[in-house]
A and B are shown apart, each in its own frame.
Chain A
Amino acid sequence: MNRDEALTIPRELFLVPALSLWRRETVRFLRQRSRVVGALGTPLVFWLLIGGGIGRSFQSPGTTETNVGSNYLQYSFPGTMALIVLFTSIFAMISVIEDRREGFMQAVVAAPVHRLAIVMGKILGSTTLAVGQALVFLLLAPLAGLPLSAGSFALSAGILVVVAVGLSGLGFVIAWPMDSTQGFHAVMNLFLIPMWLLSGALFPATGAAGWIAWLMRLNPLTYGVSAIRWGMLGAGGEAGAHGPSPAFSLMISAVFAVGMTIFAAVVVDRTRVR
């Protein structure tokens, strides 16, 4: 065999390894039936609960449809999409702990691969799952009585990707130094529920106590929820009035996504092997 071929590995590789890691995530997902069932079932269950529960609870018995009911449904539907993206993208990062503990990752970090490519492979993997799930849920929106056009679907998909990348990056940074999945669960519960509650997904900042409103302003997911809501329902109407402006929300979400990705690559680069 020709050895010269082996000598021409130039710099650190980027695209091919990143795509390969991404592909591996999706192949692994599809091979684990329970994960597929869970991933498809979650949006369905949420849709039943949100559509059948919230949609109806706020209706007064005498009327078939009231403004209160449909408005809160409009408000909570995008918030539920954010919930799906939040939990799926961050919990998918448990695989980072497993990859490191079981040994797969050691061969990856020892390869001439740019650290950012390693991070992006993992992040794109979890983003795919999270956005896929959220879009399944979004497709059910018309069945809950909410309008959905092809345009708002495409726009929402793009926004969901940005939000999911940021949250996956956050999950990566938390998961990388951990050696047990139990620890990850504990930390995530500490973070995730408050993060979701204080994101404007359930209630708007305008009515909240002063310090809560401040926490909501500092929460990156607030801007994600606001951007998702805008993507789905448009800037006008009741929903748009509650949160920060769409442009600002998108910008913060994008900065968060890029920032977390780079931060994750720095964390990988700094790490000594386990």
Chain B
Amino acid sequence: MSESPAVELDRLTHKYGDRTALDGLNLRIKRGMLFALLGPNGGGKTTLFKILATLMPPMGGTARVAGGNVVSDRRHVRGRIGIVFQKPSLDGKLTVAENIMHQGHLYGLRGGQLSRRSGPILERFGLSDRVRDRVDTLSGGLQRRVELAKALLHQPEVLILDEPSTGLDPSVRADLGLLLSELRREREVTILLTTHLMEEADECDRIGILDGGRLVAEGTSPELKSAIRGDVILATGAKPVELAARIASRFACETTIVDGAVRMERDRGHEFVPALIEAFPGEISGVSVGKPTLGDVFLHVAGHRWREAEPEANERR
């Protein structure tokens, strides 16, 4: 296999009218990674997905996937990527086997070669006894498995999933996460998924955080979290704004207000909490100490709270 990165973005830019969806993205994803692109809706994830899937050429910069440019080498790229769309791409009127067969035909697989490929994949995803069932009759979770089986049929080098857990029950979502990390180990495949769920991103090898069309951070989950000093402390009280100001001046630290609570980052949180409570007796009604989450990381690197912009479905053309 070639040594080129699975995905390589160089100043990738895209606009819809005046609105900048992607603003000069630079990113390299090594082969064999399970990589999450995390960001609020409207952050540019879907735009990036469409560009990587060769469905839309970018306006500026370049994107290379599996060693090929998504515009000039799109045939090369199309043969080497597997795609799981956010919207189901199965034909509900056809059976599982027929959907898989059709997908095989799109990639030039047929006859014995096709059944040698599809058999183990369907088996692997626990679909062997459902192959004769119409896709319409399967549960949402099973349909997702068929989508995944379909995308892996031609043994892609890079598997791209757009919001794979949208519309799935939490248990099915956990199941999918497990399946993806197993896949990455079993096969030499790079998996890139977009998500707006921090828990989902947390389970990936590396995470890129996309906000307002910019890649604001990239790294492993522990790396990203280490950017935050120590622990995250949340204190609640009757007058949060006043309390925040007073804590800030008393302890010389930055405070912000998050959902009506005063938030601060401190080393050795367990020692800080008693001091905090003693400093403001009766004014603090509750305190929590936690390790930083990806939500804290987002706040730290994006400079604002996680907010969902308009859905990207509006971004036609």
Tell whether, in the assembled complex, residue A24 and residue B89 are in contact, meaning their CB atoms are under 8 Å apart: no
Q: Mark A226-262, 1 if CB is under 8 A from B, else 0.
A: 0000000000000000000000000000000000000
Tell whether, in the assembled complex, residue B93 and residue A11 are in contact, meaning their CB atoms are under 8 Å apart: no
- Interface hits, A1-46 → B, CB 8 Å: 1, 3, 5-7, 9, 11-13, 16-17, 19-21, 24, 27-28, 31-32
Chain A residues, Cβ within 8 Å of B83: 107, 110
Tell whether, in the assembled complex, residue B75 and residue A3 are in contact, meaning their CB atoms are under 8 Å apart: no
Q: A3-B188, A6-B155, A108-B106 are in contact. Are A24 and B50 (CB under 8 A)?
A: no
Chain B residues, Cβ within 8 Å of A24: 91, 94, 98, 102
A: contact size bracket: 20 to 34
Q: A3-B188, A20-B105, A272-B317 are in contact. Are A11 and B55 (CB under 8 A)?
A: no
Chain A residues, Cβ within 8 Å of B103: 107
Q: A6-B156, A110-B54, A272-B55 are in contact. Are A16 and B90 (CB under 8 A)?
A: no
| B16 CB, min distance to chain A CBs, angstroms | 11
Q: Which A residue sits closest to B134, measured CB to CB?
A: A31
Tell whether, in the assembled complex, residue A5 and residue B155 are in contact, meaning their CB atoms are under 8 Å apart: yes
Q: Which B residue sits closest to A273, measured CB to CB?
A: B55
A149 within 8 A of B: no
Tell whether, in the assembled complex, residue B78 and residue A112 are in contact, meaning their CB atoms are under 8 Å apart: yes
Q: Which B residue sits closest to A1, measured CB to CB?
A: B155
Q: A1-B155, A3-B155, A24-B91 are in contact. Are A9 and B107 (CB under 8 A)?
A: yes
Cβ-neighbour of B106 out of A1, A20, A32, A272 (below 8 A): A20
A53 within 8 A of B: no
B214 within 8 A of A: no
| B45 CB, min distance to chain A CBs, angstroms | 14
Most buried by A among B1, B94, B105, B317: B105
Q: Which B residue sits closest to A101, measured CB to CB?
A: B87
A103 within 8 A of B: yes
- Interface hits, A98-122 → B, CB 8 Å: 102-104, 106-113
Tell whether, in the assembled complex, residue B108 and residue A16 are in contact, meaning their CB atoms are under 8 Å apart: yes
B168 within 8 A of A: no
B61 within 8 A of A: no
- Interface hits, B11-69 → A, CB 8 Å: 50, 53-57
| A54 CB, min distance to chain B CBs, angstroms | 38
Q: Mark B106-138, 1 if CB is under 8 A from A, else 0.
A: 111010010001001000000000000000000
Cβ-neighbour of B107 out of A19, A109, A111 (below 8 A): A111
Most buried by A among B88, B106, B117, B120: B106
Chain A residues, Cβ within 8 Å of B53: 110
